[in-house]
């Protein structure tokens, strides 16, 4: 439980610093900072972790390199969302990230989890 609380706090701090860097702090609040920090760490996990071979805060690594990589992912996420300038564009970016996650988990890794079986069974994906 304490690890979850630390993860939320560190995600919020990372999102806040990333919003200061990208100059979007005036239009987002604390909840958005937390979401940006945590989702940014997921983005970093897919794009920056293979480059730098450093885990992110989502893997309970709170070292300085992990914090920097997670913040890099949050900055990338804010840069993409800044292209859209509204909540609709931000939601589109989150959906794209979710689709990339589902694709990499269910098809690339060949997961047999119930969720992946349900996704693979959808008729429009055949």
- pTM for the structure as a whole: 0.64
Question: What confidence score (pLDDT) does residue 107 get?
Answer: 66
Its domain, for residue 8, covers: 1-85
Q: 114 and 57: one domain?
A: no
Q: 91 and 113: one domain?
A: yes
Q: Compare 18 and 108 and report the one with higher pLDDT.
A: 18
Report the domain count for the chain. 2
Q: Compare 126 and 2 and report the one with higher pLDDT.
A: 2
| Structure-block tokens of residue 122 | 């959808």
Structure confidence by residue, pLDDT tens digits, 35-82: 888 888 888 888 888 788 888 887 888 888 888 888 888 888 888 777
Q: 95 and 71: one domain?
A: no
Structure confidence by residue, pLDDT tens digits, 71-120: 888 888 888 777 776 667 677 777 888 877 777 777 666 667 776 777 77
């Amino acid at each position: 439980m304490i690890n979850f609380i630390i993860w939320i706090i560190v995600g919020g701090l990372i999102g806040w610093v990333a919003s200061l860097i990208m100059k979007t702090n005036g239009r987002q609040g604390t909840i958005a900072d937390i979401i940006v920090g945590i989702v940014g760490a997921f983005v970093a996990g897919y794009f920056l972790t293979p480059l730098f071979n450093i885990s992110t805060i989502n893997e309970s690594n709170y070292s300085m390199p992990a914090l920097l990589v997670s913040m890099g992912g949050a900055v990338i996420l804010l840069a993409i969302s800044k292209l859209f300038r509204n909540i609709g564009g931000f939601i589109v970016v989150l959906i794209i990230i979710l689709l990339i996650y589902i694709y990499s988990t269910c098809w690339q890794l060949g997961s047999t989890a119930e969720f992946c079986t349900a996704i693979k069974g959808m008729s429009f994906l055949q």
